[in-house]
């Protein structure tokens, strides 16, 4: 019996990156704005444009701001409205993450958003990685009805958290998909496949592309310190292809008989 190929989800920060992910062979995108803050909800227009142009699955992050994952009533209202907007636009799934002040999963609110999103599947994002108890958090997430967990194994990168990710996958069984993300790269994805046993992975596959601006000035800066404002960082279709090939090579090596 042949083994399934590894599925790659691309964290895309623009419609351009969504399309590059599709060209590169990704199965799904997680569409975000403000990637430098860990991702926030894109604009309605950006989501609508991505939906019109994409043939692959489109998931949208529902996160009203950067920072922690303890949300006010006002912020929760925004999240509810954004989920309804995504449903109206025909988005394939949403990505959420809510914690209590004590570092546990906010079960009632998460359950409310899962119910609101239905029949769209729901991924619980890396808010999990700053939860107090990973195995209690995993069970709570499963109880809320989420379909997938994106995690770095409560470390700065999935490579560092691979051991916990493997244990989470085993604990979840068929109840929920555990998807490693954060620091997943071309040079480590084959090893992560072997170490975690996971079949879905999350990465951005980004690379800098030169700006088309001919007139340039160094006197005025609009971005942060050290930022090259004449380079655009987007998902690279070629890099996505290479990551998928390397991931499936790792899978084949792991399951080769003899």
Q: Looking at residue 2, what is its pLDDT?
A: 52
Residue 17 is assigned to a structural domain of this protein = yes
Residue 237 is assigned to a structural domain of this protein = yes
Q: Looking at residue 20, what is its pLDDT?
A: 98
Overall domain count for the chain? 1
Residue 93 is assigned to a structural domain of this protein = yes
Residue 2 is assigned to a structural domain of this protein = no
- Inter-residue contact 108 to 135 (CB < 8 Å): no
CATH number of the domain residue 165 falls in: 3.20.20.380
Q: Smallest Cα–Cα separation from 8: which of 245, 255, 254, 256? A: 245
Average pLDDT per consecutive 10 residues, the chain (258 residues; last block may be shorter)? 77 97 98 94 98 98 97 98 98 98 98 98 98 98 98 97 98 98 96 95 94 85 76 94 92 67
Q: Looking at residue 219, what is its pLDDT?
A: 79
Q: Looking at residue 221, what is its pLDDT?
A: 80
Residue 72 is assigned to a structural domain of this protein = yes
Q: Looking at residue 258, what is its pLDDT?
A: 39
Q: Looking at residue 251, what is its pLDDT?
A: 80
Q: Looking at residue 4, what is its pLDDT?
A: 59
Residue 123 is assigned to a structural domain of this protein = yes
Q: Smallest Cα–Cα separation from 12: which of 224, 239, 250? A: 239
Residue 245 is assigned to a structural domain of this protein = yes
Q: Looking at residue 1, what is its pLDDT?
A: 39
DSSP 77-143: HHHHHHHHHHHHHT-SEEEE--B-TTSSB-HHHHHHHHHHHTTS-EEE-GGGGG-S-HHHHHHHHHH
Q: Looking at residue 36, what is its pLDDT?
A: 87
Residue 1 is assigned to a structural domain of this protein = no
The one-character DSSP state at 36 is: G
- Inter-residue contact 120 to 95 (CB < 8 Å): no
**Boundaries of domain holding 206:** 7-255
Q: Looking at residue 241, what is its pLDDT?
A: 97
């Amino acid at each position: 019996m042949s083994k399934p190929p590894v599925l790659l989800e691309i964290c895309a920060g623009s419609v351009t990156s969504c399309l590059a992910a599709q060209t590169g062979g990704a199965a799904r995108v997680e569409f975000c704005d403000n990637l430098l803050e860990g991702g926030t909800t894109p604009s309605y227009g950006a989501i609508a444009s991505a939906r019109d142009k994409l043939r692959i699955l489109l998931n949208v992050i529902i996160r009203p701001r950067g920072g922690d994952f303890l949300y006010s009533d006002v912020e929760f209202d925004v999240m509810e409205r954004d989920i309804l907007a995504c449903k109206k636009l025909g988005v394939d799934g949403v990505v959420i993450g809510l914690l209590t002040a004590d570092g546990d999963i906010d079960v009632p609110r998460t359950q409310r958003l899962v119910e609101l999103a239905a029949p769209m599947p729901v991924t619980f994002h890396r808010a999990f990685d700053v939860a107090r108890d990973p195995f209690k958090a995993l069970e709570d997430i499963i109880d809320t009805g989420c379909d997938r967990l994106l995690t770095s194994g409560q470390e700065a990168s999935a490579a560092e958290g691979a051991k916990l990710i493997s244990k989470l996958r085993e604990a979840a069984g068929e109840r929920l998909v555990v998807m490693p993300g954060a620091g997943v790269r071309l040079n480590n994805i084959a090893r992560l496949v072997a170490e975690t046993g996971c079949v879905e992975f999350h990465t951005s596959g980004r690379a800098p592309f030169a700006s088309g601006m001919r007139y340039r000035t160094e006197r005025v800066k609009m971005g942060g310190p050290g930022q090259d404002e004449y380079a655009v960082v987007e998902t690279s279709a070629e890099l996505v292809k290479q990551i998928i090939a390397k991931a499936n090579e790792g899978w084949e090596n792991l399951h080769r008989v003899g």
